[in-house]
Amino acid sequence: MQAMVLEKPGSPLILKDFPIPQTDPGQVLIKVGACGVCRTDLHIYEGDLAAPELPLILGHEIVGEIREMGEDVEGFAPGQRVGIPWLGSTCGHCAFCDSGRENLCDNARFTGYQINGGYAEYAVADARFCFSIPDYYTDAAAAPLLCAGLIGYRSLAMTHDAERIGLYGFGAAAHIIVQVANYQEKNVYAFTRLGDSRGQSFALSLGAAWAGGSDMSPPEQLDAAIIFAPAGHLVPIALQAVRKGGIIVCAGIHMSEIPAFSYDLLWGERTLQSVANLTRKDGEDFMELAPKVPVHTAVETFSLPDANEALMRLRNGQIKGTAVLVMDDQIM
């Protein structure tokens, strides 16, 4: 098989030939149909996230078909389409795992970080951490659901009964979650990069009640805000925008330094909360919900050898929706 490999953070990925991986007990071998290019991949590529297991095949928004199954795999069959997410395995017996918070397991391992991912023609995964993919979606359309969708869904759930929700950074996750929020009859206020009229028009086309630059104030106070952009300076800006009792959810795995801010921005029982990874229940619930909304994903497809271009365009804010690597004849 071929794969795009990260050998050193900051250096371009290299196209290499590898033997097709073998399955261990409990694992499935997937013929990759599509793999989303996530901002977390960019953070790993640029060295923002420490200690990836190098050399590494990036990618954790993987959709493909089961070609082989190891011993003891249950609930799946050869030929079935599945998705492989960021959470690749957990210990299964710590206090976090036992309390339904496996996303916080200290011994968790992550796809495309400690486990080779989907920037490749084949991938292996622990079957217990794979999800069935709804028939409603093509491989490319389903790929963004595996991380942008799941993290966005978990973040949205943390806003509880908020009716007016600000989304700071209107990229892969936000373009999915605005649709879910509309389905739940909530009002979304989209904040984009300064001067990004294209992004603001995109947000409005997906049902946002208002769209503007991240330096602007919304037309009314927000009940909650979700910060998808990895920009710490947005935290005090978002705190200014939410009412007393409001919540700010920081949805990224990496964020630049948060500047000092006066206590009055937090006072009034405002809450600042982070999101860490995902649970399998998040995946199961969201995969059931997505086709009911229905969530439509905006994707821009690239061939496997063009993974470096996809990462650079993501870094420069030039992707509308999600960049997705597609294999063979699935290129659109």
Mean pLDDT of 288-315: 97
Q: What is the pTM of this model?
A: 0.93
pLDDT per position as a tens digit, 109-120? 999 999 999 999
pLDDT per position as a tens digit, 221-265? 999 999 999 999 999 999 999 999 999 999 989 999 999 999 999
Task: Spell out the domain ranges in the chain.
Answer: 2-144+278-330, 150-274
CATH hierarchy code of domain 150-274: 3.40.50.720
* 2-144+278-330 placed in CATH 3.90.180.10: yes
CB count within 10 Å of CB 230 equals 19
pLDDT per position as a tens digit, 275-286? 999 999 999 999
